[in-house]
């Protein structure tokens, strides 16, 4: 079983989009029981809030529901609970490393580093471009599934 935690600043846009896209993809592949997938924030700003409405609408456009999501903050114990902790941008990674006390097991990664175009997932909170964020998260999740299923990660 592969346990994956997606992380962004507030846990209302990018990381829940990645979480629910990944859940949808593994469901389509018929291997939901092989995964535990969740998301978290590095900040406390949005704790308890649902997925941001434009992000929820973008997921719904692709037939993906995100009901029941409530933003939560990353904890140090998450490092032990999950096999992979995947940040959306380099700022998230810096905070994740601080909050987890480092990365001695090499579990912390950027989502787009699993693709051919490394870098940060577009942040729609500032850009308003939820299409770009969808594309980044979808591409990253597809690449991640391929690596997991080929036992490369």
Rg of the chain over Cα atoms, rounded to whole angstroms, equals: 14
Catalytic, out of 13, 14, 89, 141: 14
Give the Cα separation of 56 and 67 in Å (integer): 9
Which is the catalytic residue, given 66, 78, 100, 123? 123
CA distance 84 to 93: 12
**What is the rounded CA–CA span in Å between residue 24 and residue 142?**
11
14 belongs to the catalytic site: yes
d(CA 26, CA 17): 14
* Residues with catalytic roles: 8, 14, 123
């Amino acid at each position: 079983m592969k346990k994956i935690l997606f992380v962004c600043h507030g846990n209302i846009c990018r990381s829940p989009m990645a979480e629910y896209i990944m859940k949808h993809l593994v469901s389509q592949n018929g291997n939901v029981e092989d995964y535990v997938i969740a998301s978290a924030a590095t900040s406390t700003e949005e704790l308890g809030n649902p997925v941001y409405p434009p992000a929820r609408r973008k997921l719904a456009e692709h037939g993906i529901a995100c009901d029941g999501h409530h933003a939560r903050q990353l904890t140090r114990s998450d490092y032990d609970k999950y096999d992979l902790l995947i940040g959306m941008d380099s700022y998230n990674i810096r905070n994740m490393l601080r909050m987890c006390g480092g990365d001695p097991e090499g579990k912390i990664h950027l989502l787009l580093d699993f693709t051919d175009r490394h870098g940060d997932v577009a942040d729609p909170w500032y850009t308003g471009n939820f299409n770009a964020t969808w594309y980044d998260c979808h591409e990253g999740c597809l690449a991640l599934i391929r690596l997991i299923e080929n036992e490369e990660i």
